[in-house]
Structure 1
C-alpha cells in the first residue's frame, strides 16, 4: 500500500486509484481518456513565493494563472511556478505526477472544482490517477487560500 493509500484510508476517505497504460500529460489528455469535462481534471502545481513553496490544486479549465492576483490572495510580493527540479526536490515527485493529497505543503485551492462530485488528479505515479471528491481533497490538504471561479 502506498503512502497515498494509507493517508486516505486512515482519514476514512472514499477514493479510486485508476491504472492506465500510458502517462497522462495534460488536462485535455485526462479529460479525453476518462471521458470527463476538462474542469474535472485537477492538476497540482507547485508555486514558489517569497514566503516559501505552496501547492496549487486547480481546475483543468482554469487557463493561464494570474500570478499577480495569486500574490495578492496569498499576501506575498512574488509568485512563480517552481522549476521542475525544485518541484522534485520539494515534493519528491516529477511534474505531471504530483499528487492531489499528501504533500504537506500549504495549499491554494480552486473553488471551481466544487462544481463536480469527483475530480481526477495525480497520485505520484505516472500510470495511475486519483478519483476523489473535491470536498475530500480540500479536507486533507492545508488550504490557506482559495481561487474563486474564473
Structure 2
C-alpha cells in the first residue's frame, strides 16, 4: 500500500462516518501530537535494551504498532487536507537529505569519530604536504599520504608519511608487478579524487609503512580537498586491517 492508497482508504473511512467536520488541519496536527505522546509512553524511562526486550511480547508490539499506525493515518489525513502529495513530498525530502548529508562524507565522519579521530575543516583547498605543514604547523613526517597502487591481483592503498615516497622496488618485493594508479583509477576504485583519499573507510587491501606507526598522531586526507583527518596511526591499522611493512624510501 502506497501513500495514495492509504490516503484514499483513510478518507473513505472518515467520510463514511461524517467525521470530516472534525478533521481541520489544526485538529489533525493536534491529534498527531497526542498520538506521538501515547507512543512515547511505551518508551518513557526504559533503556534501549529493555525496550527491545519488551517488544518481544506480541501484545505490547501490537500496541506500539497501533500507535504508529494512528500517527501515519493522521499524517495522511493532514496531508490530504493541505493538498500535499505525500509520495512526492517524501521523495523530494529524501533527495534534499541526500544532498545535505552526502553518504560518503557522513560515513567517513562517523568512522573517524568512532576511532577517536577528528575531522579538520580547513576552509580552503589543500593539495600538498607542504600546504598542510604550513597550515597546521606540523612536520612533514606527521602528515601521511594515502596512495593507490595497482598490483597483478588487486588495487592496494599504500600509506606513507609526508617526507617519504612509496618505493616501487620495495612494494615489488611483496606484490611483484606494481604501478601507481591513474587519477581515473583512483576515483573509480576509492570514490575519491587524488588528494582527497582518506586512510580509513577505503575498502581495499591496505599497507602502511612501519615508520608511520612511530608517530603518536598523523594528519591525512579527509575525503574532500578542503578537509583533513587527525588520527592515531594504530587506529588506521585497526580499522583497515592494514599490513605494516617497510615500503618507504
TM-score by length of 2: 0.55
Provide the residue aligned with 1:102 in structure 2. 201
Residue 20 in structure 1 maps to residue 122 in structure 2? yes
Give distance in 2, aligned partners of 1:95 and 1:148: 20
Give distance in 2, aligned partners of 1:51 and 1:103: 17
Among 114, 121, 130, the residue aligned to 2:213? 114
**1:149 and 1:124, CA in 2 relative to 1: closer, same or farther beyond 3 A?**
closer
Provide the residue aligned with 2:59 in structure 1. none
Kindly provide the CA deviation profile for residues 52-95 of structure 1, in whole angstroms up to 9, marking residues without a partner as x.
100001111113x32122110x2x32111100000001111000
- Aligned-partner SS, 1:87: helix
User: After the TM superposition, which residues 1-150 of structure 1 pair with which residues of structure 2 at under 5 Å, given as runs?
Assistant: 2-9=106-113, 12-63=114-165, 65-72=166-173, 74=174, 76-147=175-246
Give distance in 2, aligned partners of 1:89 and 1:148: 24
Note the residue ranges of structure 2 that are not aligned, 5 or more in a row: 1-100
Give distance in 2, aligned partners of 1:131 and 1:62: 19
CA contact (8 A) 1:105 1:142 kept: no
Q: How many residues in Structure 1 have an aligned counterpart in Structure 2?
A: 145
CA contact (8 A) 1:18 1:129 kept: yes
Which 10-residue stretch deviates more, 110-119 or 38-47? 110-119
CA contact (8 A) 1:68 1:78 kept: no
Shift of 1:115: 2.5
Higher fraction of helix = 2
Which 10-residue stretch deviates more, 80-89 or 133-142? 133-142
Give distance in 2, aligned partners of 1:80 and 1:135: 26
- Aligned-partner SS, 1:58: strand
- Aligned-partner SS, 1:61: coil
RMSD: 1.7
Higher fraction of strand = 1
Note the residue ranges of structure 1 that are not aligned, 5 or more in a row: none
- Aligned-partner SS, 1:23: coil
